[in-house]
Chain A
């Protein structure tokens, strides 16, 4: 059961962790895939699957490039992803506020 009003793409433990970590970067910055993996302590396969779902929703942008001869993969939140994360956080806070004070509509 997903609480009403919560974005199902983000409201899942692994993907929420990915989006939260990426949201800590400044706008215009991106993380390398191995670093994101280290921060989240996820396997490469698991992280790839969840990034795939987030990319499908156009919440993250995955850029494959080269640094010298070494291939590098960068991951960043898109502006759409950042907005979805902000909306999600606001919805969670609203749920908590609603549960705390029943006098508020």
Chain B
């Protein structure tokens, strides 16, 4: 007697691989939504700062309206925050448990860190010339981000986060040593660029690691 529903061993293994991939691919797809909005924000906003500050010259590379770079930065940041929160909320509606709690604590830590460090920078910035004010905010933001990626590497045992966090800290330092306009250029290209690359590469890298 043969049951038409009876699975051959090959079919069983194929089904197992397919369903496991269906779950993990969806989870990895969301990594793009965490990295890409922030990568584009850094690339575009710090790109405008670069044009405005004109590294290596006495004036701007391109004459932009005074408020434009900051308006673009705050607008893109607001969009990126909304996408990040929306992505996290959607994940929480699909999978719960320890991973969810880990992610929630990590998210709250980001908000708490930036929310308490920025007012401190504001107090110090009052006493600095304009170009140094921008450098202070930019450099500390990137440094905090780098440190959070390093912490993320330890939480999720993820080497790609360790590399990304380390890279951000090093290029950030190099940019600060080179000076205000240069820092913007370095963060736009090497910082924003790294986040964009991470968003595109991380899902594929995680898939290989999971096999």
Task: Using CB atoms and an 8 Å cutoff, list the residues of chain A in contact with chain B.
Answer: 1-3, 11-13, 16-17, 20-21, 23-32, 35, 39-40, 74, 76, 88-89, 92-93, 95-96, 99
Decide if B2 touches A16 in the complex (CB within 8 Å).
no
Known: A2-B6, A21-B20, A24-B20. A32 touches B13 (CB 8 A): no
Q: Do the beta carbons of A92 and B96 come within 8 Å of each other? A: no
CB of A24 within 8 A of CB of B97, answer: no
Q: When the two chains form their complex, are residues B5 and A28 in contact, meaning their CB atoms are under 8 A apart?
A: no
Contacting pair A16 B12 (CB below 8 A): yes
Q: DSSP class of B's interface residues: helix, strand, loop or mixed?
A: helix
A21 in contact with B97 given A13-B5, A16-B7, A92-B13 (CB within 8 Å): no
Using known A-B contacts A11-B12, A16-B16, A92-B9, determine if residue A26 contacts B24 with beta carbons closer than 8 Å: no
Structural contact, A32 and B93, CB atoms closer than 8 A = yes
In the assembled complex, the Cα of A89 lies from the Cα of B56 at a distance in Å of 63
- CB <8 Å contact, B94 and A89: no
A29 to B149, CA, bound (A): 23
Say whether B6 contacts A29, CB under 8 Å. no
- CB distance B7 to A13 under 8 Å? yes
Interface size on B, residues (CB 8 A): 28
Interface, chain B (partner A; CB < 8 A): 1-3, 5-7, 9-10, 12-13, 15-16, 18-24, 26, 93-100
- Residues on B with beta carbons closer than 8 Å to the beta carbon of A96: 9-10, 13
A91 shortest CB reach to chain B, Å = 9
A31 to chain B, nearest CB (A): 6
Between B2, B12, B100, the greatest number of chain A beta carbons within 10 A of the residue's beta carbon is seen for B12
Asked whether B20 lies within 8 Å of A1 as measured between CB atoms, the reply is: no
**B contact residues around A40 at 8 Å (CB):** 19, 22
Cβ of B96 and Cβ of A29 under 8 Å apart? yes
A89 cross-chain contacts in B, Cβ below 8 A? 13, 16
Q: How far is the CB of B147 from chain A (nearest CB, A)?
A: 25
Contact partners of A95 in chain B: CB under 8 A:
9
Q: B113: shortest Cβ distance to chain A, in Å?
A: 26
Residues on A with C-beta less than 8 A from B24 are 24
User: What residues on B are CB-neighbors of A2 within 8 Å?
Assistant: 3, 6
Closest 3 CB pairs of A and B: A28-B98, A29-B97, A24-B23
Of the A-B pairs whose beta carbons lie under 8 Å apart in the complex, a sample of 7, sorted by A's number, is A12-B5, A13-B5, A21-B22, A26-B97, A26-B98, A92-B13, A96-B9
Q: Establish whether residues A25 and B7, one from each chain, have CB atoms under 8 Å apart when the complex forms.
A: no
Return chain B residues, CB-CB under 8 Å to A74. Answer: 96-97
